[in-house]
Amino acid sequence: MPNAQARLSQVQSHLASSEADIPSGRESILSKSQDDIVVTCALRTPFTKGGKGGLKDVPAADLLVHTLKSLLSRSKLDPLLVEDIAVGSVLPPGGGATEFRAAALVAGFPENTAVKSLNRQCSSGLQACIDIANAIRSGMIEIGVGSGGESMSSQYGPGAVTEFSELLESHPEAKNCKVPMGVLSEKMAKDRSISRTDQDVFAASSYQKALKAQQAGKFDEEIEPLTNVKFVDPKTDEEKIITVAKDDGIRDGITAESLGKIKPAFAKDGSIHAGNASQISDGAAAVLLMKRSTAERLGQKIVGKFVSSSVVGVKPLLMGIGPWKAIPVALQKAGISKGDVDVYEINEAFASQCLWCVRELGLDENKVNPNGGAIAFGHPLGCTGARQVSTLFNELGRTGKRVGVTSMCVGTGMGMAAVWVKE
C-alpha cells in the first residue's frame, strides 16, 4: 500500500510539472504550432468617397479583381494552390455570387478555385476570413482567401433592403431589424447618455489620427494603388483616367469645434451627423490564409496568425453595442484578458456606439484605432472586416507589438470579434 501511494504521489507530481510547462494566457497564444492558421498576405485598395471619390465608377467586382491580382503578385503564390475564396459583400443583387466568381477568374485563379459570396452585414469581410480559417482548420481546404468588396457609390440606397412581409411586421422585435441604423443609433446615444460633444471629440480624434498616419505613410504598405481608373468628374461630367493611391476621405483641419457646427442628420435635437458617423465609401480587401506547416513548406512569409473569433446577437435597436458583447467572448476563447491586447481595431460605424463600447469595456483608448477609423477613411460595408486585418498587422509590426483584436457592430443587432497575433 505504501508503495502504491508513493507511486500515486510521483504520478501526480509529474502531472503537475507537465501542466506547469503548458503555456497559458498571452504566453499560450504567442507560442507557435504547425497547425496555426496563419496569414501570409493582407492588403486592400484605397477607400474613396461614395459618389465623389476616385473609385466611384469602378464596380465592386472590378475592385475585387484588382485586390486578388495584387494578393497573388505580392505573395507570389501559385493560384492553382488556392482552393476557396470567400467574399463578403452586403449590397450586390444576388449577393454578388456570379460576378465574384467571374472576378476570381479574371484575377488569374483557375476554374478549380471555388468562390462564394456571403453577407453578415458590416462583419461580412471578417466572416469571410473566419470561414476560410475554419475550413482550413477542419481539413476541408489547405489554402484560401478571405476578402470583401463594396461599391456603395453604385449600390447603396433603399433598394438594398427588402420589404418586410406582414408576418415579419407583426413581430415587435423582428420589425426593428429594418429601422435605419442612423435612427436607432440616435436613440441609443440618448438612452446611453453619449453626448454630442463626446461624439464630436471622438470623431475629430479619428480624423486627426488618420491624417497623421497618412502623412507618415502608415497606410502605404496595406494599400495597393489602382492605375488607369476611369473617372467621370461629378461636377463637369468630364471623363478622366486617374491613379488612385490614397484614402480620399481623410481631411485636414477637422476639430470637435468644426464638427459641432454640423446639423444633426436624424433628429432636430439629435447628436449624430455626417461628421461623427462612418463615411459611405468604396473599396476591397483580401487576406491569404493557410496552416503554418503549409506556409513553411511553400516558403510563404508569415505575417501573423488567427487565434479565435466570436459572433453574438443583441437587440436590433441596440445594434451598436455588438463589440461590447463580442469582444469578451473572443478573448475568453483565446484564453486572454483585455489587458493582454496591444491594439484594438473597432469599426467606427458611429462615434456614439464605438465610444460607448470602449468605455463600457474599460479599454485603454490609446490602444483603440491608433490610426483612426471608419469615421475618417470610410466603411465599405462588406470590406471593412478584411481591411481591419491588414491595418492591424501593419500597426503591430511597426510598433513591435504582438496581440490584436478586430471587431464591429453588425446591422439588425449582432456583433463580431477576432483575436490575432503578429508573427
Q: Pick the catalytic residue: 129, 354, 357, 409?
A: 409
Is residue 277 within 8 Å of residue 199, measured between CB atoms? no
Pairing, β 239-244 against β 281-291: unpaired
Q: Pick the catalytic residue: 273, 354, 357, 379?
A: 379
Is residue 380 within 8 Å of residue 281, measured between CB atoms? yes
Q: Is 379 designated active site?
A: yes
- At 354, list the grid cell: 464605438
Of 224, 280, 254, 294, nearest to 65 (Cα)? 224
Which DSSP letter does residue 277 get?
Answer: B
**Residue carrying the nine cell digits 475618417:** 376
Q: Is 122 designated active site?
A: yes
Distance of CA 374 to the CA centre of its chain: 10
Q: Pick the catalytic residue: 122, 129, 357, 383?
A: 122
Under DSSP, is residue 111 helix (H, G, I), strand (E, B) or coil?
Answer: coil
Q: Is 409 designated active site?
A: yes
Of 378, 319, 389, nearest to 354 (Cα)? 319
Element (H or E) spanning 205, and its range?
Answer: helix 196-215
Is residue 97 within 8 Å of residue 382, measured between CB atoms? no
Element (H or E) spanning 239, and its range?
Answer: strand 239-244
Phi, psi angles (nearest 5°) of residue 392:
-65, -50
Residue 182: how many other CB atoms lie within 10 Å: 19
Is residue 44 within 8 Å of residue 386, measured between CB atoms? yes
Cα distance between residue 243 and residue 24, in whole Å = 48
Exposure letters 401-413 (e unless 16+ CB within 10 A, then b): ebbbbbbbbbbbb
Catalytic residue list: 122, 379, 409
